[in-house]
């Protein structure tokens, strides 16, 4: 029995995959996951390298993998400040850019809409370092406050019947949590077609902890929307820490296992609100945290180890 089977009564179990891991982790993916997010291959600058020129080769391959294995897809992501080609903002007007975006979403929706029931419409639009509310992005500069309303309207028109999400990180840190809450509350009050909030959950074994996450889930739940855990991993280092370790220390792995256990217990408690819990990668042999925030520093943030074998954390999540 895999994770996805054990959690069938609760929510989908997702992971981020890429063009490489659908081969290197094929068996693991098949056994444990029933929803996938394309790590990069669906992002704007991955599919569109020059104005109006699209190449879907890599994304198509991952999509086929999902289809062959009866997995659904979480579309990621439509409006973001990163991995978005700068040329779409050049020599354009706000109205024309909307048409460009509409066409972009239409192309993705037509191609991947059958398996992609849910989409991150806007990713990371809230500022988390200063007192500003919105992150200063080209999107915000073009349209000003409330710019996400229009993005969700377009997505709603072009992707009818799909669940539309706002997705962000530091979602459990009180200041940012409140900003995200206010953002989405405002959208709901203005009648914007938003269905849910994606909690990225790039956490570490020290913070925000299960209480922080619980408060975030409860706060967002007040909005009466769907929730997804979209990019979960639990780093063994504090964010500021730049230590390198040759191996994963046992006591840190134990602490991580406890935390995963508590997190999944919490998710089960709130399963009626949660559509999916997605890990940001299948196993510890390939994780973006090996290069972030410290390039070349090994990390072990997931449920399967560098040999793709179940970790203690996995057993804790499975045995309840
Ligand atoms: C953000 C994005 C993801 C991914 C991660 C880092 O959280 O939403 O698509 O790029 O950063 O891998």
Tracing tokens 């006591």 back to the chain, one arrives at: 251
pTM equals 0.98
Nearest CA to ligand 1 atom 3: 39
Between the CA of 100 and the centroid of ligand 1 the distance, in Å, is 23
Does the beta carbon of 37 sit less than 6 angstroms from any atom of ligand 1?
Answer: no
Each residue's pLDDT tens digit, 24-49: 999 999 999 999 999 999 999 999 99
Each residue's pLDDT tens digit, 281-316: 999 999 999 999 999 999 999 999 999 999 999 999
Calculate mean pLDDT across residues 224-248: 97
Does the beta carbon of 123 sit less than 6 angstroms from any atom of ligand 1?
Answer: yes
Calculate mean pLDDT across residues 229-257: 97
pLDDT over 90 (residue 166) = yes
- By CB neighbour count within 10 A (0-12 exposed, 13-18 middle, 19+ buried), where does 93 fall? exposed
Each residue's pLDDT tens digit, 133-154: 999 999 999 999 999 999 999 9
Which residue in the list 124, 218, 240, 269 is annotated as catalytic? Answer: 124
CB 199 within 8 A of CB 227: yes
Does the beta carbon of 45 sit less than 6 angstroms from any atom of ligand 1?
Answer: no
**Is 124 a residue of the active site?**
yes
User: What pLDDT does residue 129 have?
Assistant: 87
CB 220 within 8 A of CB 199: yes
Each residue's pLDDT tens digit, 77-105: 999 999 999 999 999 999 999 999 999 99
Tell me, letter by letter, the H, E, C secondary structure of 118-153.
EEEEEECCECCCCCCCECCCHHHHHHCCCHHHHHHH
For the chain, give the mean pLDDT: 98
Residue of 120, 169, 231, 293 with the most ligand 1 atoms within 8 Å of its CB, for mutation:
231
CA distance 275 to 198: 10
């Amino acid at each position: 029995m895999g994770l996805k089977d054990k959690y069938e009564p609760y929510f989908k179990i997702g992971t981020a995959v890429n063009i490489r891991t659908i081969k290197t982790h094929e068996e693991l993916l098949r056994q444990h996951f029933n929803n996938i997010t394309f790590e990069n291959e669906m992002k704007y600058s991955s599919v569109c390298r020059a104005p109006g020129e699209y190449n879907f080769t890599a994304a198509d391959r991952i999509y086929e993998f999902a289809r062959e294995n009866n997995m659904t897809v979480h579309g990621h992501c439509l409006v973001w400040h990163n991995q978005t080609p700068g040329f779409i903002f050049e020599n354009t007007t706000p109205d024309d850019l909307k048409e460009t975006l509409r066409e972009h979403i239409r192309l993705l929706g037509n191609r991947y809409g059958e398996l992609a029931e849910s989409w991150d419409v806007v990713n990371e639009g809230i500022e988390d370092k200063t007192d500003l509310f919105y992150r200063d992005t080209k999107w915000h500069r073009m349209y000003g406050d409330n710019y996400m309303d229009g993005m969700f309207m377009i997505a709603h028109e072009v992707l009818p019947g799909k669940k539309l999400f706002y997705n962000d990180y530091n979602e459990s840190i009180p200041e940012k949590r409140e900003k995200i809450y206010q953002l989405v509350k405002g959208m709901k009050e203005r009648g914007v077609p938003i269905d849910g909030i994606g909690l990225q959950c790039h956490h570490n074994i020290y913070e925000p902890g299960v209480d922080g996450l619980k408060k975030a889930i409860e706060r967002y739940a007040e909005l009466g929307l769907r929730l997804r855990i979209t990019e979960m991993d639990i780093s063994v280092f504090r964010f500021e820490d730049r230590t390198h370790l040759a191996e994963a220390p046992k006591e840190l792995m134990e602490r991580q296992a406890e935390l995963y256990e508590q997190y999944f217990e919490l998710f089960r408690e709130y399963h009626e609100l949660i559509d999916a819990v997605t890990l940001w990668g299948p196993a510890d042999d390939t994780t973006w945290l090996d290069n972030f925030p410290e390039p070349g520093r090994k990390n072990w943030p997931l449920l399967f180890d560098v040999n793709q074998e179940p970790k203690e954390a996995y057993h804790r999540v499975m045995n309840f």
